[in-house]
Amino acid sequence: MEELINYIAKALVDKPEEVKTVINHEEDNVNIELTVAQEDLGKVIGKQGRTARAMRTLLSAAAEKEHKKTRLDILE
């Protein structure tokens, strides 16, 4: 799941080398923190958060397999 977000984020930004993801498992929850270059923030969030929402949707679909809840934080 971490790689999924990492992969998508890298494909969307201008500076893929600055994309970093951290994953935290807590019980049934999976938290992923995504960090990108300052100027790429808008690209992973998208208009009205559409891109971020789409990533979250895919993430939760991916987590469905393991019956887990997910959370994606985009860090500034």
Partner 1 sequence: MTPKTQDFYGKEVADAIQEACEKLQVPQEQLEIEVVETGSTGIFGLIRKKAHIKASVKESEVEETEGLSTKPPQPKAEKVEKKAAAATKEIEQVEQQPAKQDEKQSITEAASPESKTLHSAESFDDDEDFEENGQLDVDEDDEEASAEQLSEEVIASVRQELINILELMGYPSPVEVTAKGTSVLCHVGEEYEEVLTGQDGKTLDSLQYLLRKIIVRKVPNRLRLTVDVGNYREKRIADLKERALELADSVRNDGKTQVIPSLSPSERRVVHMTLQESKDIRSRSVGEGLFKKILIYKPGKSGRGGGRKRGNSRGRRNNNRKKNE
Q: How far apart are CA 17 and CA 31, in angstroms?
A: 22
Which one-letter amino acid corresponds to residue 9? A
Shortest gap between Cβ of 61 and partner 1 (angstroms)? Answer: 5
**Binding of residue 15 to partner 1 (CB under 8 A):** no
Question: Is 67 among the residues that bind partner 1 (CB under 8 A)?
Answer: no
Helix, strand, coil fractions of the chain, as percent rounded to 5: 55, 30, 20
Binding footprint of partner 1 on the chain (CB under 8 A): 1, 3-4, 7-8, 11-12, 46, 48, 50-51, 53-55, 57-58, 61-62, 64-65
